[in-house]
């Protein structure tokens, strides 16, 4: 079968507040993108899993997990975390390590370096898995802002932070240059087999996310992404993360979903056959604890987001960003 090019998968989703007329430099320094992960619960202090609260600068989550596994003399699969954090950032996050015999616990201080520091060591009863954390707190600096009308832009910031933005999955979910999407197509349509379960899961997640974005894009173009339509199955505007079963939506909401995904029948069939259950995701991303300020020609933003929400989805509504690096970030 003919292969699919990443160029065929557009990530140019419509804006809710119009095409940004501002521009800025993004992630010039690791300190320009700071993320602090909050679990939302306190480790019990006992259990079979060691919990490590880790500060890191310029290191990705998978690499840190490997270092933890190496020191603890366990398999990497025995190290858990709630989400991958960007390498090109300063972040704190939690890791878990399966060590049922407390006497075998290593000296965690051996992990400390210029780029990694162990902040807290505790224990708990279960392994950390994707999405187990409650929130991420961001402090983001956008440098060398270029804007024609500063007053109008400040009004836009206030509106965006107060009303929220379309809850798109960020470009990070689709891989560098959207490379995850052709891979997803090969699995779902062409029957390609991938033995690496983690990689396969990422590809399928990218496919579900892309279909969700298609529905959300249709709602943004119709200017009803914040409205509760007839037939909404939730108490908030939502769209499906596709899997087995029919959509829970009916009436007007279902009609929009069906039209938006009409061209993706093969993907929908494939996602049903791989055994994923259908879920729903909110269409509106509304940040909490928001603040912003000017630092000369730079803009500093701070806000909190829930698990699986993308900071870059907020930033894209404000300015066209020129990133200093090629991101390897995923959902935090």
Tens-level pLDDT at each residue, the chain (332 residues) = 344 444 478 999 999 999 999 999 999 999 999 999 999 999 999 999 999 999 999 999 999 999 999 999 999 999 999 998 888 999 999 999 999 976 678 999 999 999 999 999 999 999 999 999 999 999 999 999 999 999 999 999 999 999 999 999 999 899 888 899 999 999 999 999 988 888 899 999 999 999 999 999 999 999 999 999 999 999 999 999 999 988 999 999 999 999 999 999 999 999 999 988 999 999 999 999 999 999 999 999 999 999 999 999 999 999 999 987 754 433 33
Given this model, what pLDDT does residue 17 score?
96
Q: How many residues does the chain have?
A: 332
Both tokens assigned to 79: 């190290």
CB 204 within 8 A of CB 187: yes
Final residue in a domain of this structure, among 124, 147, 175: 124
CB 209 within 8 A of CB 174: yes
Q: Based on the domain organization, do 191 and 72 belong to the same domain?
A: no
Domain range for 100 is 41-124
Burial, 110: exposed, middle or buried (Cβ in 10 Å; 0-12, 13-18, 19+)?
A: exposed
Q: Based on the domain organization, do 103 and 152 belong to the same domain?
A: no
67: CATH: 3.30.2350.20
Catalytic residue among 12, 78, 86, 288: 86
Domains: count for the chain? 2
Q: Based on the domain organization, do 51 and 98 belong to the same domain?
A: yes
Using DSSP, state whether 291 is helix, strand or coil.
strand
Both tokens assigned to 272: 């049903």
- Identify the H or E element spanning 41: none
Given this model, what pLDDT does residue 332 score?
37
Q: Based on the domain organization, do 164 and 292 belong to the same domain?
A: yes
Q: Based on the domain organization, do 108 and 201 belong to the same domain?
A: no
Q: Is 129 contained in some domain?
A: no
Given this model, what pLDDT does residue 311 score?
96
Closest CA to 169 of 4, 9, 5, 11: 11
Q: Based on the domain organization, do 111 and 139 belong to the same domain?
A: no
Given this model, what pLDDT does residue 40 score?
95
Please indicate whether residue 86 is annotated as part of the active site. Answer: yes
Q: Based on the domain organization, do 111 and 30 belong to the same domain?
A: no
Given this model, what pLDDT does residue 103 score?
66
């Amino acid at each position: 079968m003919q292969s699919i090019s990443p160029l065929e998968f557009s990530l140019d989703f419509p804006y809710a507040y119009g095409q940004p007329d501002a521009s800025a430099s993004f992630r010039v320094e690791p300190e320009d993108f700071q993320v602090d992960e909050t679990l939302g619960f306190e480790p019990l202090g006992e259990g079979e899993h060691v919990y490590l609260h880790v500060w890191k600068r310029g290191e990705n989550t998978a690499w840190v997990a490997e270092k933890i596994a190496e020191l603890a003399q366990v398999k990497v699969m025995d190290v858990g975390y709630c989400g991958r954090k960007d390498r090109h950032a300063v972040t704190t996050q939690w890791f878990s390590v399966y060590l049922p015999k407390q006497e075998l616990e290593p000296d965690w201080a051996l992990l400390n370096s210029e780029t990694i520091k162990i902040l807290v060591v505790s224990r708990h009863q279960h392994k950390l898995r994707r999405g187990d954390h409650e929130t991420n707190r961001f402090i983001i600096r956008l440098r060398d802002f270029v804007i024609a009308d500063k007053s109008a832009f400040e009004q836009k910031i206030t509106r965006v932070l107060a009303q929220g933005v379309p809850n798109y999955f960020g470009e990070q979910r689709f891989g560098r240059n959207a490379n995850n999407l052709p891979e997803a197509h090969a699995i779902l349509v062409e029957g390609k087999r991938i033995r690496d379960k983690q990689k396969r899961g990422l590809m399928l997640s990218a496919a579900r996310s892309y279909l969700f974005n298609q529905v959300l894009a249709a709602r943004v173009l119709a200017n009803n992404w914040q409205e509760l339509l007839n037939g909404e199955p939730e108490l908030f505007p939502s769209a499906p993360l596709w899997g087995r079963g029919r959509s829970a939506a009916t009436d007007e909401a279902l009609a929009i979903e069906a039209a938006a995904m009409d061209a993706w029948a093969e993907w929908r069939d494939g996602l049903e056959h791989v055994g994923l259950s259908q879920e729903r995701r909110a269409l509106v991303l509304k940040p909490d604890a928001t603040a912003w300020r000017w630092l000369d020609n730079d803009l500093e933003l701070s806000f909190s987001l829930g698990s699986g929400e993308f900071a870059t989805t907020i930033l894209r509504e404000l300015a066209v960003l020129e990133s200093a690096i090629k991101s390897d970030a995923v959902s935090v």
